Structure 1
Amino acid sequence: MRHFYTFGFCLLALLGSSLRVQAQSNDEPSYRKEFTYGINFNTRGGLIGGVAVRSTRVLDEKWSRFWGIEGVEVKHPKEQRLLNGATGGSFVAGKSNYMFVIRPSFGMQRVVFRKAPESGVQINALLGAGPSVGLLMPYYIYYDYTLRENGGRAVQEDIRSEQYDPTLHPRAELILDRAPIFTGAGETNVKVGGHLRGALSFEYGRYRDAVAGIETGFLFEVYPKNLMILRAPNISDSALNTNFFPSVYLTLYIGHRS
């Protein structure tokens, strides 16, 4: 976890020092509003972490304020996908809940380096915070309860879709596959926490009304209680799970200005 804190403190230091850095151009920007949307990648997510949108209002030549919202999936770092060789299905060992998070964010952005009007890269530093709405949705599997004779012939086929619990479903070979992702959507539990983010954005916009760029930074997220994602026999849920979710993220975004 040390690299999360080191990265975060360095980024906060850079944001603070940027208050003393003069932009190379003091010209007023030619736009007042900016709207962007993008794809998020983070160290707590899968191949693609989620999606994000943001609206920014320019205050002066250096400062802007923004609000945004992003939706991501948060995974446990010990998740391990297993394959059922007989059926070709797959599942995550011990996973009892999906965790999806909706994060409204509010914050400030400062220009560290302003690009030329029609070319170059603009560097912005930003700091934001807001609530985190965690959605714990049950992770369902297909478990084979079929009764069989000594020779292995099925007497009565019985395959059930149930929320995965390693104590109730101890035999991995009888887990045929995971159920569709929204099977347990009606049993979703909502947990509310908060988050803090700090980042640098590298913004490229060849035209005055268009923008594209990369934002990279850290995010610290915390909840009042541990959120159960994984379960394991003989290990308490509180020992296996946590209420603190630090991550490093990168967002690719495009948008327009007016």
Structure 2
Amino acid sequence: MRHLLSLTGLLVCLAGSATQAQSLPASPNDDPSYRKEFVYGVNFNTRGGLIGGASVRSTRVLNESWSRFWSVEMVEVKHRKERRLTSYNGSSFVPDKSNYFFVLRPSIGAQRVIFRKAAESGVQVNALASAGPSIGLLMPYYIYYDYAPRSPGQPPGSEDIRTEQYDPAIHTREENVRDRAPLFTGAGEVKPQIGAHMRAALSFEYGRYRDAVAGIETGVLLEVYGKAPVILRSLNVPDSQINNRFYPSVYLTIYLGSRS
């Protein structure tokens, strides 16, 4: 999270310098030559892994300063205490993880131009705000667990490997975990989790003004669920003490798209 916050601050400073040098405040005479915009991007956030997810956004221009948009984002949300371990055979798994948590976020929002760039150069800065439901999908995290008895730190002489969702009451020995099962092993057992989210962001757009668009969006997202999604579990500890209902995050999205 510290690295992403530093990167976000650096991008804001750089974009601010560019806009001061190359851009002008939006005015009634700056009527845009396009009416629609469609972009798609890759998301990085403080609740995800290396790549948090992906998103699409469709925007309709209302006037020289304001636009409205809808967007859909799909991300994986991870628990802050997740850690990856390596099993004795070289495979990796996340101890105590009972479910993957994927979230679909449809939203509607508004966008205001803060600085409008020149037609063929510069940086345009927009402020965005949006809100909508959060459709969470809890999918079981399956592991390959070896039930054959063996001494700690020693490979078994025989194997009794079963594919099961992690359960702290059953899978008590981390050294018996051989590997995690393929991602969609538990796809038929997905459970929905309904919540809501809202976000505020700044976007910095580059590229040709009337045709293609490329940029960076960075902001803060606040998300809450009716009950805590169970991502991690631990023996003799209530799930509600480990998992949270509230998921704030800082995010950065790199996007490309077109205008018409």
Instruction: Classify the TM-score, shorter chain.
Output: 0.7 to 0.9
Structure 2 contact 118–209 (Cα < 8 Å) conserved: no
TM (norm. structure 2) is 0.87
- 1:164-216 Cα deviation digits (max 9, x unpaired): 11221000110000000100010010111110000000001225110000000
- 1:195-252 Cα deviation digits (max 9, x unpaired): 0000000001225110000000000010111110000112110000011100000000
CA RMSD of aligned residues (A): 2.1
What is aligned with 1:18?
A: none
What is aligned with 2:176?
A: 174
Output the CA distance in 2 between the equivalents of 1:164 and 1:148.
20
Tell me the CA shift for residue 146 of structure 1: 2.4
What is aligned with 2:49?
A: 46
TM (norm. structure 1) is 0.88
The alignment status of 1:153 with 2:157, answered yes or no, reads yes
The alignment status of 1:247 with 2:249, answered yes or no, reads yes
Q: Which of 61, 78, 103 is residue 58 of structure 1 equivalent to?
A: 61
- 1:28-57 Cα deviation digits (max 9, x unpaired): 100000000000000000000000000000
Q: How many residues align?
A: 237
Unaligned runs of 5+ in 2: 9-23
Q: Report which stretch shifted further, 120-129 or 229-238.
A: 229-238
Q: Which has the higher strand share?
A: 1
What is the 5 A alignment of 1:161-240? 161-240=163-242
Tell me the CA shift for residue 89 of structure 1: 1.2
Q: SS of the counterpart of 2:134? A: strand
Unaligned runs of 5+ in 1: 8-20
Tell me the CA shift for residue 23 of structure 1: 2.0
AA matched with 1:29: P
What is aligned with 1:119?
A: 121
What is aligned with 1:12?
A: none
The alignment status of 1:256 with 2:258, answered yes or no, reads yes
Tell me the CA shift for residue 22 of structure 1: 5.4
Structure 1 contact 37–51 (Cα < 8 Å) conserved: yes
Structure 1 contact 25–114 (Cα < 8 Å) conserved: no
Output the CA distance in 2 between the equivalents of 1:147 and 1:92.
22
Instruction: Percent identity, please.
Output: 68
Output the CA distance in 1 between the equivalents of 2:168 and 2:177.
11
Shift >4 Å, 4+ stretches: none
